[in-house]
Amino acid sequence: MSASLPTPRDTEAKLQHILLHSAQIFAKQGFERTSIRDISKATGVSLSGLYYYFSSKQKLLYLIQINAFTSVLESAHAKLSGVEDAQRRLRILVGNHVEYFLTHPNEMKVLSHEEDALEEPYRREVAAIKRRYYELAREIFEGVMAESGSGEGLNARVAVLSLFGMMNWIYKWHNPRVDPNAAELAETIVVIFLNGVLGETSDGKLMSAGKEKAIRLD
């Protein structure tokens, strides 16, 4: 049986191959409906070959989720390294996020739709890396606000999670035939967001979101 096991040399590449195709099939037919046999078929890896990488469907779902967050977080850190300007840091964060998930729509869908399918202790570990990613975004956001001196009273959690909302909803509507590419999309989102949390409009009708008490819903 050892002949069917991957050699150490290609282990990481093969794992990435499995994660990619598993995310695809989970995105298509859902985690619950997908059997290990389906995964074997989709990846072209035998059942014993798959077993080398994960011992259960739960573990596989965990690996897909952890792998996606690790990739996004690591590439964000790499691109942010040495960059101090707060607005530029925000641009990098958004650009990195939009680029990753626009090229990984299946992973985005699995992260969003199968969040609750994950059981402990995997669930806790995924929650922890998500938390680290949120905290990076929050820290960058606080940097932007501190640099501009505005945004007092703005609910930072709501602002940051609204930014994630703009980015994480893209997989629902992006159509590459009519919509902008990742860089343009990220730029539009950054501008809306930065104007949004820092700005006052030229007609003076709106205040900063931080002064939300000044305007109320009708």
67 binds a copy of itself (CB under 8 A): no
> 78 vs 183, which CB is nearer to a copy of itself?
183
Alpha-carbon gap, residue 96 to 92, rounded angstroms:
6
Least gap, CB of 189 to a copy of itself (angstroms): 6
> 54 vs 193, which CB is nearer to a copy of itself?
193
Least gap, CB of 174 to a copy of itself (angstroms): 9
Query: 28, 25, 29, 47: which is closest to 37 by C-alpha?
Result: 47
- Burial (Cβ within 10 Å: 0-12, 13-18, ≥19) of residue 58: middle
DSSP letter assigned to residue 11: H
Of 2, 7, 81, 201, the one binding a copy of itself by CB under 8 A: 201
Least gap, CB of 52 to a copy of itself (angstroms): 29
172 binds a copy of itself (CB under 8 A): yes
217 binds a copy of itself (CB under 8 A): yes
Binding mask 114-153 for a copy of itself (x = CB under 8 A): ---x------------------------------x-x---
Contacting range for a copy of itself; rule: CB under 8 A; set: 7-15, 57-65, 118-126, 170-178: 170-178
Residues 157-181: b if buried by 16+ CB within 10 A, e if exposed: eebbeebeebbbebbeebeeeeeee
Of 6, 21, 24, 30, the one binding a copy of itself by CB under 8 A: 30
End-to-end CA distance of the chain: 70
197 binds a copy of itself (CB under 8 A): yes
- Compute how many residues bind a copy of itself; rule: CB under 8 A: 63
Q: Using DSSP, state whether 187 is helix, strand or coil.
A: helix
Alpha-carbon gap, residue 193 to 13, rounded angstroms:
37
Place of tokens 């995997």: 122
Least gap, CB of 7 to a copy of itself (angstroms): 38
CA 84 to chain centre: 23
DSSP letter string, 21-41: HHHHHHHHH-TTT--HHHHHH
Q: Which positions touch a copy of itself (CB under 8 A)?
A: 30, 32-33, 87-88, 91-92, 95, 112-113, 117, 148, 150, 154-155, 157-159, 161-162, 164-170, 172-173, 178-180, 183-203, 205-209, 212, 215-218
